[in-house]
Amino acid sequence: MAAESGANLIPIVAAIIGIGVVAQVLADRFQVPSVVFLIAAGIILGPEMLGIVGPDSFGNALGAIVGLSVAIIVFEGAFHLHIDKLREAPKETVKLVTIGAAIAFVGTSVAVHFLLGAQWDVAFLIGALLVATGPTVVTPILAVVPTRDRVEAALETEGIVNDVTAAILAIVIFEAIRVGLDDPVALVPLFAERLGIGVVVGGVVAAILFYALRYIDLSPGNAPRNARLLVLAGALVAYGAADTIATEAGIAAVATAGILLGNLDVPYEEDISAFKGDITLIVLSFVFIALAALLRFDILRTIGLRGLLVAGVVALVLRPILVFVSATGDRFTTGEKWFMSLVGPRGIIPASVATLFAIELRSAGQPGSADLLVGTVFLVILVTVVLEGGFARQIAEYLDIIPMRILIIGGGRVGRTLAERLEGRGENVVIVEKREENVENARNAGFTVHQGDGTDTDVLRSAGAENARIVVGATGDDDVNLLVSQLARSKFDPETILSRVNQPDNTEAFEELGVRAISASLATAQAMDNYIERPSMMDWMGEIGHSGDIQEIEVTAEKLIGKTIDEIGDRLPDDCLIALVQRNGETQVPDSDLTLERGDRITIIGGREEVREAIEFVHPDM
Identity of the amino acid at 560:
L
Walk me through the domains of the chain, giving residue ranges and CATH numbers.
2-399 (1.20.1530.20), 405-536 (3.40.50.720), 546-618 (3.30.70.1450)
pLDDT number for residue 314:
93
Give yes or no for a contact between 230 and 218, defined as CB atoms under 8 angstroms apart.
Answer: yes
DSSP run (H or E) holding 576: strand 576-583
pLDDT number for residue 3:
42
Cite the beta strand spans of 434-566 per DSSP E.
Answer: 449-451, 468-473, 496-501, 516-519, 548-554
pLDDT number for residue 31:
63
* CA–CA separation, 36 and 144 (whole Å): 13
Give yes or no for a contact between 449 and 431, defined as CB atoms under 8 angstroms apart.
Answer: yes
Provide the whole-model pTM.
0.65
Tell me which residues of the chain have a pLDDT lower than 70.
1-8, 31-33, 55, 59, 63, 81, 84-90, 135-136, 179-184, 218-221, 248, 275-277, 291-295, 330, 348, 424-426, 537, 540-547, 619-622
pLDDT number for residue 6:
47
User: For 532-582, what is each residue's pLDDT tens digit?
Assistant: 877 776 776 666 655 677 777 787 777 778 888 888 877 787 778 888 888
Half-sphere exposure of 517 (CA within 13 A, CB side): 21
Residue 446, sorted as left (phi over 0), alpha (psi -120 to 50) or beta, turns out to be left
* CA–CA separation, 398 and 366 (whole Å): 45
* CA–CA separation, 258 and 451 (whole Å): 35
Looking at residue 564, the DSSP 8-state letter turns out to be B
* CA–CA separation, 378 and 182 (whole Å): 27
pLDDT number for residue 544:
60
User: For 336-355, what is each residue's pLDDT tens digit?
Assistant: 899 999 988 887 678 777 77
pLDDT number for residue 2:
41
Half-sphere exposure of 192 (CA within 13 A, CB side): 5
Rounded to 10°, the helix 62-79/348-363 angle is 160
Name beta bridge partners: 580: 603
**How do beta strands 468-473 and 449-451 pair?**
unpaired
pLDDT number for residue 4:
44
DSSP run (H or E) holding 605: strand 601-607
DSSP run (H or E) holding 203: helix 187-215
Give yes or no for a contact between 492 and 460, defined as CB atoms under 8 angstroms apart.
Answer: yes
* CA–CA separation, 619 and 74 (whole Å): 35
Cβ neighbours, 10 Å, residue 42 = 23
Nearest to 175 by CA among 235, 208, 128, 226: 128
In 216-294, which ranges are continuous DSSP H helix?
223-245, 249-262, 269-292
Nearest to 38 by CA among 270, 290, 278: 290
Rounded to 10°, the helix 2-30/269-292 angle is 110
* CA–CA separation, 221 and 240 (whole Å): 30
Name beta bridge partners: 470: 406, 496
User: For 569-615, what is each residue's pLDDT tens digit?
Assistant: 777 877 788 888 888 878 888 888 888 888 788 888 887 777 777 77
